[in-house]
Chains A and B, each alone.
Chain A
Amino acid sequence: MAEYVFETEGVKKTFTFLNRKAPYGTIYALEVLETVLISAAFEQHANIVFVDDGVYQIKKDQDTAAINMKNFSPTYGIIEMEKEDADEDEDMDMVWRIIVEKESMEARGLSPDDFKVEVEVLSSAELADVLEQSDVVIGG
């Protein structure tokens, strides 16, 4: 069980985190979030994408008190802050995008006002291009 050592110094990739699952019903949303935050430490480009029921992850006003589960939606605010820090810091070569697919959003009767973070709304065709330009896709 020898630890493998990767040469990652100076390697810049574009990660896409593809969120397609609703929160709370399963754990997938939470654990993808943790991966997104870790990737910041490696200064990688990242697309944080919400598709299908994943768009429900960023719904405003989540209150989990009565189901006694941790409300992890504030973490999306942390991601938004990381993105803004990266945008403002000229020395930092890290581009993050927070993207919602228009078709998934509209199919669920939602609009950008329903979300707790500011998002780019892209059509399926535009999102297909973003996916195609990714080096690594991690979903959940």
Chain B
Amino acid sequence: MKFGILINEGPFTHQASDSAYHFTKAALEKGHEVPRVFFYYDGVNNANKFSAPQADDRNLVKLWGEMASQHNVDLVVCVAAGMRRGITEDSLAEGFRISGLGQLVEAGIGCDRLMMFGD
């Protein structure tokens, strides 16, 4: 089954990105596909390469990037939401790409399920 994931909050204020990460990991382990994760609202902050959590904390920006490279997950950051928050090509972490909101609608059409994580 194909799961699309929508993340609406950043990596530290809310648990949304953590929950989405664990869900995605579990889905891949069960043999499902997660072709695309779409980052919207403050969720675009998950793609900030300047994010530098303390050493004893999890680094979601890095974890998502690693997941993308290991499992071919397409990590898409909304261009308009990103621009509002200063997430542009210059601040974009490895493994993410910037594109339009159409990519979210497309994931909704093309996936069997769209899972939303937010506040």
- In the assembled complex, which residues on chain A have CB atoms less than 8 Å from the CB atom of B16? none
Complex Cα distance, B115 from A136, in Å, reads 9
Minimum CB–CB distance from B86 to chain A (whole Å) comes to 15
- In the assembled complex, which residues on chain A have CB atoms less than 8 Å from the CB atom of B96? 1
Given known contacts A31-B41, A136-B114, A11 and B109 CB-to-CB distance under 8 angstroms = yes
A35 at interface, CB cutoff 8 A:
yes
A42 and B41 within 8 A (CB): no
- In the assembled complex, which residues on chain A have CB atoms less than 8 Å from the CB atom of B74? 1-4
A65 at interface, CB cutoff 8 A:
no
Q: How many residues of A contact B (CB 8 A)?
A: 26
A42 and B109 within 8 A (CB): yes
B36 and A140 within 8 A (CB): no
Complex Cα distance, B105 from A8, in Å, reads 10
Q: How many residues of B contact A (CB 8 A)?
A: 32
**B contacts with A: majority SS:** mixed
A136 and B108 within 8 A (CB): yes
Minimum CB–CB distance from B98 to chain A (whole Å) comes to 10
A2 and B72 within 8 A (CB): yes
Total A-B residue contacts, Cβ distance less than 8 Å: 75
Residue among A4, A11, A27, A41 making CB contact with B41, cutoff 8 Å: A27
A38 and B101 within 8 A (CB): yes
Given known contacts A13-B108, A44-B105, A138-B6, A1 and B95 CB-to-CB distance under 8 angstroms = yes
- In the assembled complex, which residues on chain A have CB atoms less than 8 Å from the CB atom of B105? 15, 35, 38-39, 41-42, 44
Binary CB contact string for chain A from 98 to 118 against chain B (1 if under 8 A, 0 otherwise): 000000000000000000000
B102 at interface, CB cutoff 8 A:
yes
User: 10 pairs across A/B with beta carbons < 8 Å?
Assistant: A3-B74, A6-B35, A6-B107, A7-B110, A38-B100, A39-B105, A135-B108, A136-B109, A137-B114, A138-B116
